[in-house]
Amino acid sequence: MKKHWMAALAGPFLPDAGLLFARVAGVLLVLHVHGLPKLLHFSEELAHIDDPLHLGRAVTLYCALFAEILCPLLVAAGLLTRLACLPLLFLLGVSMLLVHPDWSIADGQFGWLLIIVFGTIAISGAGRYSLDARLRA
């Protein structure tokens, strides 16, 4: 019996490759759009960052940098992946629900999609191609 071509392409590595792709793509987006601009333009960001939790602008910016630079690097490497997703998800949730509650789904689609990506990674874990998997082995 002839195998279907899609079945021939599918293999046991594909789910883990998909998780690797989601981790790296999501991290690159967060770093490029949010993390690195905040780091490179720290003074300007400090002057106009919203402070929805009333922690102070400096603390809020440092927390944002932690969630948008250090945590994404951990996610990309697959190290403490589920734990590293939590600050990202918290920051995205605060941003979407407290800072920009007036945004429509269309206006906030980038943030909601990042919540979906990092939520999926937090639920499923990093997969086989990660430092977490290497350390478990």
pLDDT in tens, 41-90: 999 999 999 999 999 999 999 999 999 999 999 999 999 999 999 999 99
12: in domain: no
Q: What is the pLDDT of residues 5-53, one digit of tens each?
A: 666 666 778 899 999 999 999 999 999 999 999 999 999 999 999 999 9
> Quick one: which of 97, 131, 125, 115 has its CA closest to 29?
115
- Which long-range contacts link 90-93 to residues 24+ away (Cβ below 8 Å)? 91/63, 91/64, 91/67, 92/118
Q: How far apart are the first and last CA of the chain?
A: 38
72: in domain: yes
pLDDT of residue 11: 73
125: in domain: yes
pLDDT of residue 3: 65
Domain housing 119:
27-136
41: in domain: yes
Number of domains in the chain: 1
112: in domain: yes
1: in domain: no
- Angle (deg, nearest 10), helices 57-65 and 81-94: 140
pTM of the complete model = 0.89
Stretch 93-98: mean pLDDT: 97
